[in-house]
């Protein structure tokens, strides 16, 4: 039996395909389930999330597909809730909690927009101190369950998206390690699963999944649950890494 992916984006946010196209692809591949997790609405940045209008469409379409394909595949109705999103999540089967921004001086700094944007923000708001930037990011990650009541913690070290060569900051630096471990310590008592996320590989940003091996080892040694996801934005890569 094929695996299932529980982190899937559609054309209602920054994915390529319609929900039904993804369901049909999952059925073709023999998946027992597919979990949809549209990006929750963030009013300060509409570049990747679902608009309010598309949120309504999503909230109608996924339950429709759940019913239409009952008996063929289990369609799960989830949401990827950003830390700074105020949208209600009660209607969803599950929540993936994510930190995509750092709030600094009243501005929302996207950690995964582009390498150039990240460097620019660190220079402007942190005086070039990448470790202070990472410390702020991981403080939010440590609170992601508290804020979103998520079942799954998304791409734990997303802040490293453009740092696979370790040239922007050193992931072995004591300040970086302390920030990571403080977030892990806050989340370990929470009833969450940590995802091993292959999405940046499919989109050509990385050759390795999140989180990095040291973080993953720390999580597993401490008994944390993990789940592999493709963070699918294109049906061609629905089961990448799974």
Per-residue H/E/C for 49-94 = CCCHHHHHHHHHHHHHHHHHCCCCCEEEEEEEEECCCCCCCCCCCE
Mean pLDDT of the region 215-221 = 98
pLDDT tens, position by position, 77-118:
999 999 999 999 999 999 999 999 999 999 999 999 999 999
Q: Is the pTM of this model over 0.75?
A: yes
Mean pLDDT for all residues in the chain: 97
pLDDT at 196 exceeding the cut of 90:
yes
User: In this structure, is residue 180 part of a structural domain?
Assistant: yes
Start-to-end CA distance of the chain, whole Å, equals 12
Of the candidates 137, 217, 223, the one whose C-alpha atom is nearest the C-alpha of residue 188 is: 223
- Residue 233: its pLDDT value, please? 98
User: In this structure, is residue 23 part of a structural domain?
Assistant: yes
User: In this structure, is residue 208 part of a structural domain?
Assistant: yes
pLDDT classification of 236: cutoffs 50, 70, 90: very high
pLDDT classification of 1: cutoffs 50, 70, 90: confident
Q: Which structural domain, as residue segments, surrounds residue 104?
A: 5-237
User: In this structure, is residue 116 part of a structural domain?
Assistant: yes
User: In this structure, is residue 242 part of a structural domain?
Assistant: no
User: In this structure, is residue 47 part of a structural domain?
Assistant: yes
b/e burial code for range 37-46 (CB count within 10 A of at least 16 → b):
bbbbbbeeee
User: In this structure, is residue 166 part of a structural domain?
Assistant: yes
- Residue 57: its pLDDT value, please? 98
Strand-pair partners of 96: 80, 152
CB atoms within 10 A of CB 151: 18
| Number of domains forming the structure of the chain | 1
- Residue 45: its pLDDT value, please? 98
The CATH number given to whatever domain includes residue 139 is 3.20.20.140
Mean pLDDT of the region 48-58 = 98
Q: Which helix (H) or strand (E) holds 194?
A: strand 193-197
Residue 34 in contact with residue 23, Cβ under 8 Å? Answer: yes
User: In this structure, is residue 131 part of a structural domain?
Assistant: yes
pLDDT classification of 10: cutoffs 50, 70, 90: very high
Integer-rounded Cα Rg, in Å, for the chain is 17
């Amino acid at each position: 039996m094929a695996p299932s992916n529980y982190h899937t984006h559609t054309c209602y946010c920054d994915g390529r395909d319609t929900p039904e196209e993804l369901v049909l692809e999952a059925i073709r591949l023999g998946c027992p389930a597919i979990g949809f997790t549209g990006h929750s609405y963030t009013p300060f940045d509409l570049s990747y999330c679902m608009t309010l209008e598309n949120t309504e469409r999503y909230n109608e379409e996924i339950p429709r597909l759940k019913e239409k394909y009952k008996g063929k595949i289990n369609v799960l109705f989830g949401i990827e809730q950003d830390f700074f999103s105020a949208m209600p999540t009660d209607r969803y089967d599950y929540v993936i909690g994510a930190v995509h921004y750092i709030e600094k001086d009243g501005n929302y700094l996207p950690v995964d927009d582009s390498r150039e944007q990240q460097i620019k923000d660190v220079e402007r708001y942190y005086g070039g101190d990448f470790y202070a930037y990472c410390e702020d990011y991981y403080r939010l990650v440590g609170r992601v369950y508290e804020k979103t009541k998520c079942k799954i913690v998304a791409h734990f070290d997303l802040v490293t998206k453009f740092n696979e060569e370790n040239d922007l900051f050193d992931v072995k630096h004591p300040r970086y390690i302390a920030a990571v471990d403080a977030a892990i310590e806050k989340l370990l008592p929470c009833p969450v699963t940590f995802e091993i996320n292959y999405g940046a590989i499919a989109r050509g940003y990385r050759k390795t999944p999140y989180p990095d091996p040291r973080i993953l080892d720390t999580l597993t040694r401490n008994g944390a649950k993990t789940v592999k996801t493709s963070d699918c934005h294109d049906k061609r890569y629905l089961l990448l890494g799974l």
